Amino acid sequence: MAYSVNVIKIKIKIKIQGQGQGRIPMLRSFRLIIILVSILLSSCNDDIEGDLDLVLNNVRLIDVTSGHISEEKSVGIKGNQIVRIHHSSMQGKSTIDGSGLLLSPAFIDTHVHLTFIRNAFEIQSEEDFLAFYQSTLINFNSEIIESGVTSVVDAASFTPFFFEERERLKKSNIVSPKVYTVGKVVVNPQSRFSEIICQGSKWCEDNLLIQLDEQSNVVDELSALVDIGADGIKVIYDSSFNEPVGTYERISENLTARVIQYSQSVGLPIVSHTVANEEFASLSLLNIDAFIHSPFPENNSFDVEGANLSEILVHSKTPVATTAHHFDPQSVDENERDSFISFVENDIRPLMRRHLDLGVMYAFGTDFSDNTQMSYADTFQREVRALELLGFTNLEILQSLTVNAANFPMIKGNYGLVKVGYAADLLLFDKNPLESLIFLNKPKIVIQRGNVVYENSD
């Protein structure tokens, strides 16, 4: 938000009558100028402050790039944007005294499935989808917001119905995260994806999948996603699905390259579902925009056919959604937990540490869905525990939720920092999440688009 200020030009004529006589008038003139400038600046500040919608006074800012916590400052918000950060208190239409509170950018989850349910194949019609939406999805919205997440990337959805509900959601009074979604996902007709997800349901296949083979007209098949307002395109470039890699036919590299070329021509980012490191490498070289799953060491390394995947990802600057929940120690049988933790700490963590130190960009992604049979808060902490075990520092986890996630290609706008010109999606904490990750998804206040949307009364 830019403010125009009328600059008052003051012209003062000083008549110097000799070297000794001009000093006192000159000093008085300087003092007058200083007083007038102070009055002018004060007036300008009053004009700005009087126009602020929300002010957060006496808050300490968490710099997510360094982990530094500032002295008390005040943050002024106009509309959905931060317009002023100052050392002194300010006035606005609404004011929050943040004494004792820490201010952080709100969180972004780059990998959720808002309409992926335990029995997706049972959705046989629009009516079935809407019934699911009303009974389940609205509850998801409040759970997500209460965890401090104000934006999510939905990695697959029933189209066009999810888009219609998303538009209704924007116009309603229901508090919900901002949802970026790919809609239908691109798969190989010969893959097991349809078999696993839709289990023979023609309605599910028609509204969830775009099935492409080498003879398909990519432009005709994908143009509907552009028309309906998709935020990206997702391709399933994965040949495993709970089986050893290579057990079914994935989309070919040639066809994937055609899909990527189309996505670039229409300005839609393209993301991929994959799990094998050689698939990560080949897609990075094809200029995929992001991954919604993360690579992990295979055969005690990140090497792929003589190249190093870590270096490939750094060179290509491809963001990666963390999605590491299978490393959550609490998900392992209690009798095997100690040996599992020991294995990860000794064999996986050192490799991940080198991977991170090279500069691979990780964005937080829970893979949350109704299929997890867990609350969003529990799913969030499951991912945090996994990342902690893998060796991510507290600051790196916070960065994955904020400044790194804001670089995910489907996120539009300035997010991820507490900075003038950035979105007023903010969190106020009464306990420092950098000191203990248990506080990370327990904000005191959640602000979205400049409005307080949640207050924790505990």
pLDDT tens, the chain, 458 aa long? 333 333 333 333 334 344 444 544 555 555 555 555 554 544 444 445 569 999 999 999 999 999 999 999 999 999 999 999 999 999 999 999 999 999 999 999 999 998 766 566 777 888 888 887 777 777 788 899 999 999 999 999 888 888 888 888 777 777 889 999 999 999 998 887 788 788 878 888 899 999 999 999 999 999 999 999 999 999 999 877 667 776 778 899 999 999 999 999 999 999 999 989 999 999 999 999 999 999 999 989 999 988 999 999 999 999 999 999 999 999 999 999 999 999 999 999 999 999 999 999 999 999 998 766 788 999 999 999 999 999 999 999 999 999 999 999 999 999 999 999 999 999 999 999 999 999 999 999 999 999 999 999 87
Tokens standing for residue 390:
């893998």
Summarize pLDDT for 345-369 with one digit per residue, the tens.
Answer: 999 999 999 999 999 999 999 999 8
Single-letter residue type at 449: R
CA distance 233 to 210: 10
pTM over 0.85: yes
Kindly report the CATH class assigned to 107-415.
alpha beta
| Cβ atoms of residues 455 and 430 within 8 Å | no
| Cβ atoms of residues 263 and 226 within 8 Å | no
CA angle 295, 141, 457 (to 5 degrees): 110
CA distance 20 to 209: 88
φ/ψ of 263, rounded to 5, equals -60, -40
Closest CA to 61 of 51, 73, 53: 73
Domain-wise residue ranges, the chain: 1-51, 107-415
CA distance 234 to 236: 7
